[in-house]
Amino acid sequence: MLTIGKLSRATGVKVPTIRYYEQIGLMPPPVRSTGNQRHYDRAAQDRLGFIRHARDLGFPLEAIRELLGLCDDPEGACATADDIARRQLAAVEARIARLTALKSEFQRMLAHRPSGSAADCRVIQVLGDHSLCAHDHHRAEDSAQP
């Protein structure tokens, strides 16, 4: 049995994150000692390792919840896991496309010879006037923030 600190070291997941995963139901409640200390078995360590790997691959928590549900039901359809992975691949491809457009935009901004003053600086001009950009890289979530 591992304490939460040892589990953290074994998996590379920080203690507050482990507690959070327990709170939201990704990790089952641990066994408690008489002193109320958390204790984890090998299955908990494997589950946390799965969650960590999925997070490293960029899966959102709800997708991980779905994948864990499949782990908990070995008779479930593999096609469901494939669908979840396809959604993640599409999200990664969308991010790559956005980053490629951003890279191009930065290259365009920096391609102009710098002038002596900020008033004539191409970077300042482009940041102040979105219409000077070649790509629409406005993030949808930016418009929802105050």
- pLDDT confidence band for 103 (50 / 70 / 90): very high
CA torsion through residues 9, 12, 15, 20, sign: negative
| CATH of segment(s) 4-72 | 1.10.1660.10
pLDDT in tens, 37-52: 999 999 999 999 999 9
Query: Chain-wide mean pLDDT for the chain?
Result: 88
User: What is the predicted pLDDT for the residue at 146?
Assistant: 41
User: What is the predicted pLDDT for the residue at 77?
Assistant: 84
Report which of residues 8 and 142 the model is more confident about: 8
User: What is the predicted pLDDT for the residue at 111?
Assistant: 82
Where do the structural domains in the chain lie, given as residue ranges? Answer: 4-72, 78-134
Distance CA 36, CA 15 (A): 16
User: What is the predicted pLDDT for the residue at 137?
Assistant: 65
User: What is the predicted pLDDT for the residue at 116?
Assistant: 75
CA torsion through residues 53, 29, 31, 19, sign: positive
**24 sits in which H/E element:** none
User: What is the predicted pLDDT for the residue at 119?
Assistant: 74
Per the DSSP assignment, residues forming a β-bridge with 5 are none
pLDDT in tens, 136-146: 766 544 444 44
